[in-house]
Amino acid sequence: MGLSADFMYEIINQVGNYGEIYENNLGVNTSLGLNRGLNALWTEGGLLYSPPLGGVTSSNVDFQTDTLSEVISRGKIICGVSTGIYGFSSQTDNGSWIGFDVDYCRALAAAIFNDTSKVEYVALSGNERFPALNDGTVDLLSRNSTWTMGRDTGLKLDWAGISFYDGQGFLIPASLGIDNASQLAGKTICVQSYSTSEYNLKSYFNDDFTQVDGSDEEYLNGDCEVLTTDASALLSKRAGFDQPEDHLILNERISKEPLGPLVRQSDQQWANITRWTLNTLIIAEEKGINSSNVDELKNGGDDETRIILGTEGELGSYLGLSNDFAYRIIKHVGNYEEIFDRNLGSGSTLNMERGYNNTWLKGGLLYSPPFDFGTVIPVVEPGITVNVIRLFGNSRGRHSTDILSEFRISGQVKMYALK
Ligand SMILES: N[C@@H](CCC(=O)N[C@@H](CS)C(=O)NCC(=O)O)C(=O)O
């Protein structure tokens, strides 16, 4: 990033960590007396969650392109998915792709083409995925890929956000008679090379294990005694075993694995499209907008719902998309809850719990920034009279003809004006 190697040390040494800054400026011992609330750590009931740092990794490729224009002229998105993790991305007998990560690609196709079939899927192994994105073989990855600082900065990538909060676990034969991960030291362990799983494993066991490069096949062949990767992938793999009950997933999670779709960092517009496609799925669940009621809510919903669905405002045009891009996503693919349930949750054989992957309103970590309104006037001269239909902050949601000068605006204020 062009900083000194100890920049994090300097931040913490000179300013402190988040908790210190909060407590010193806003906390219960200050005149503001604020509780941490949503701003507590994720492990303490709040939403603060940082991707891990990850290993050292870098790429010199910085592929510049206008991805949206290329996608539109090509007539389809090229989406990199995993080679097969049931529930996330796998192929049916007739060759079509299904799963949670696949539905994200379909959502993107709905946003751009109003047609979920306009996707070409490229199956990529753990080793192949980042080079394929860096060199332009795929437009994005939607594939159990952990957001780490090392990858984000070193590989010049941009995560759209977190679509699935995961952690690394261990799958073992029940016959091994072990119930705690620390007892696995010295064992032969199957792990995908070039993955965060490999990196975490080495530091967890201090290199005291024998590594076999591989996954479920090698594990079932008996090449190793233990299989480790993201717990969600372990659940999915075990569900496909002939005798799933003969295998245990230990309770320990030895890492944070925030998974989500990602793109090259050199194309900000494309990054925004992928980010707000993910946020559409999340905010739609927050607001109870789903594929069954989206038509009704398009005209009958509250202010923000109409903004999200493009009935009012022109958010889509800022992304280079149709203003009803979010409507198209929800209509054709559904909201986050619908996608989770049919691929991973109660509507699937995996029957996973929502856990951290629930909306923040129900105790999970999924949280979308709000969608907002229409045309932006970036700089407003104090004293100027403008008809305003909505303002940020407390005045948000006001209707028509408030006079700006009444608000005694000074300096720079971003606001939305009547078109
Ligand atoms: N989330 C981890 C692990 C991802 C990973 O590559 N997992 C392996 C083991 S489940 C995998 O996806 N294998 C199937 C494949 O390569 O298509 C990461 O981003 O490094």
Task: Check: pTM over 0.95? Answer yes or no.
Answer: no
Amino acid at 133: L
pLDDT score at 56? 72
Residue 52 lies inside a defined structural domain of this protein: no
- Cβ burial 265-288 (10 Å sphere, 16+ → b, else e): bbbeebbbbbbbbbbbbbbbbbbe
Contact predicate 380/416, CB 8 Å: no
Query: 320 with 407, same domain?
Result: no
What distance in Å separates the CA atoms of residue 416 and residue 270, rounded to the nearest whole number?
24
What distance in Å separates the CA atoms of residue 60 and residue 58, rounded to the nearest whole number?
7
Query: 172 with 317, same domain?
Result: no
Query: 188 with 153, same domain?
Result: no
Atom 3 in ligand 1: residue holding the nearest Cα: 195
Structure tokens at 2: 């062009």
Residue labelled with tokens 């979010």? 326
Residue 45 lies inside a defined structural domain of this protein: no
N- to C-terminal Cα separation, the chain: 41
Residue 57 lies inside a defined structural domain of this protein: no
Contact predicate 233/85, CB 8 Å: yes
Mean pLDDT for 156-172 is: 98
What distance in Å separates the CA atoms of residue 304 and residue 376, rounded to the nearest whole number?
16
Residue 162 has pLDDT above 90, yes or no: yes
Phi, psi torsion values for 292, nearest 5 degrees: -85, -35
Residue 412 has pLDDT above 80, yes or no: no
Contact predicate 302/185, CB 8 Å: no
Last residue of a domain, one of 201, 230, 255: 255
Q: What is the CATH number of the domain that holds 115?
A: 3.40.190.10
Lowest mean pLDDT among 95-99, 188-192, 320-324, 380-384: 380-384
Residue 403 has pLDDT above 60, yes or no: no
Q: What is the pLDDT of residues 133-143, one digit of tens each?
A: 999 999 999 99
- Domain tally, the chain: 4
Query: 384 with 301, same domain?
Result: no
Contact predicate 40/46, CB 8 Å: yes
Q: What is the 327 CA–ligand 1 centroid distance (Å)?
A: 32
Q: Is the CB of 225 under 6 A from ligand 1?
A: no
Query: 240 with 129, same domain?
Result: no
- Domain enclosing residue 380, as ranges: 376-417
Residue 316 lies inside a defined structural domain of this protein: yes
Residue 51 lies inside a defined structural domain of this protein: no
Residue labelled with tokens 């989406």? 79
Query: 251 with 298, same domain?
Result: no
* DSSP per residue, 4-33: -TTHHHHHHHHT--HHHHHHHHTSTTSSS-
Q: Which residue has the higher pLDDT, 209 or 382?
A: 209
What distance in Å separates the CA atoms of residue 386 and residue 372, rounded to the nearest whole number?
19
CB neighbours of 107 closer than 8 A, spacing ≥ 6? 116, 277, 280, 281, 329, 332, 333, 339
Lowest mean pLDDT among 241-250, 290-299, 308-317: 308-317
Query: 215 with 196, same domain?
Result: yes
Query: 339 with 272, same domain?
Result: yes
Mean pLDDT for 108-118 is: 98
Amino acid at 94: N
Atom 6 in ligand 1: residue holding the nearest Cα: 126
Query: 292 with 400, same domain?
Result: no
Apex 192 CA angle, 77 and 230, nearest 5: 75
Contact predicate 267/160, CB 8 Å: no
pLDDT score at 385? 52
Residue 44 lies inside a defined structural domain of this protein: no
- Report the phi/psi class of residue 327: left, alpha or beta, with left for phi > 0 and alpha for psi in -120 to 50: alpha
Bridge partners of residue 89, in order along the sequence: 85
Query: 141 with 281, same domain?
Result: yes
What distance in Å separates the CA atoms of residue 159 and residue 141, rounded to the nearest whole number?
9
Residue 190 lies inside a defined structural domain of this protein: yes
- Banded pLDDT at 402 (limits 50, 70, 90): very low
Measured from the Cα of 148, ligand 1's closest atom is 19
Residue 263: CA count within 13 A, CB half-sphere: 25
pLDDT score at 415? 46
Query: 151 with 197, same domain?
Result: no
Last residue of a domain, one of 233, 255, 277: 255
Measured from the Cα of 234, ligand 1's closest atom is 10
Residue labelled with tokens 């109409």? 306
pLDDT score at 145? 97
Q: Is the CB of 192 under 6 A from ligand 1?
A: yes
Among 197, 212, 254, 262, say which to mutate for ligand 1: greatest number of ligand atoms within 8 Å of CB. Answer: 197
Query: 195 with 250, same domain?
Result: yes
pLDDT score at 327? 98
Residue 181 lies inside a defined structural domain of this protein: yes
